[in-house]
Amino acid sequence: MKEVKDYIWRLFHDVEESPQVVEQREELTAHVIDHMFDIMATGIDEEQAFEKAVVYLDNLDELIATIMRPRSTT
């Protein structure tokens, strides 16, 4: 599910790479994919399932701001 991975990567684009970032990205990707499969099991197509699965990520900016360092510009 490349769309999910691409979406999660974009969320972290301004964050400096670290083991914590890699772990968070992998966990979020797995969670969104699992949630999509649950939604698709109810008969909803993949595109709509993706849209519904990422709704909970609306407040992810706050998480990123509190636990991760922004990417350095130098």
Domain with 39, as residue range(s), is 2-67
Please provide the size of the chain in residues.
74
Residue 74 in any domain: the answer is no
Residue 11 in any domain: the answer is yes
User: Domain tally for the chain?
Assistant: 1
Residue 53 in any domain: the answer is yes
Question: What does the mean pLDDT of the chain come to?
Answer: 83
Distances (CA, A) of 31 to 3, 16, 55, 70, 72: 14, 22, 12, 23, 28
Residue 7 in any domain: the answer is yes
**Residue 18 clears pLDDT 90, i.e. is over it:** no
**Residue 9 clears pLDDT 70, i.e. is over it:** yes
Residue 23 in any domain: the answer is yes
Residue 40 in any domain: the answer is yes
Residue 73 in any domain: the answer is no
DSSP string of the chain, one letter each residue: -HHHHHHHHHHTTTB---HHHHHHHHHHHHHHHHHHHHHHTTT--HHHHHHHHTGGGGGHHHHHHHHSPBPP--
Per-residue pLDDT reduced to its tens digit, 32-66:
999 999 999 999 999 999 999 888 776 666 766 66
Residue 36 in any domain: the answer is yes
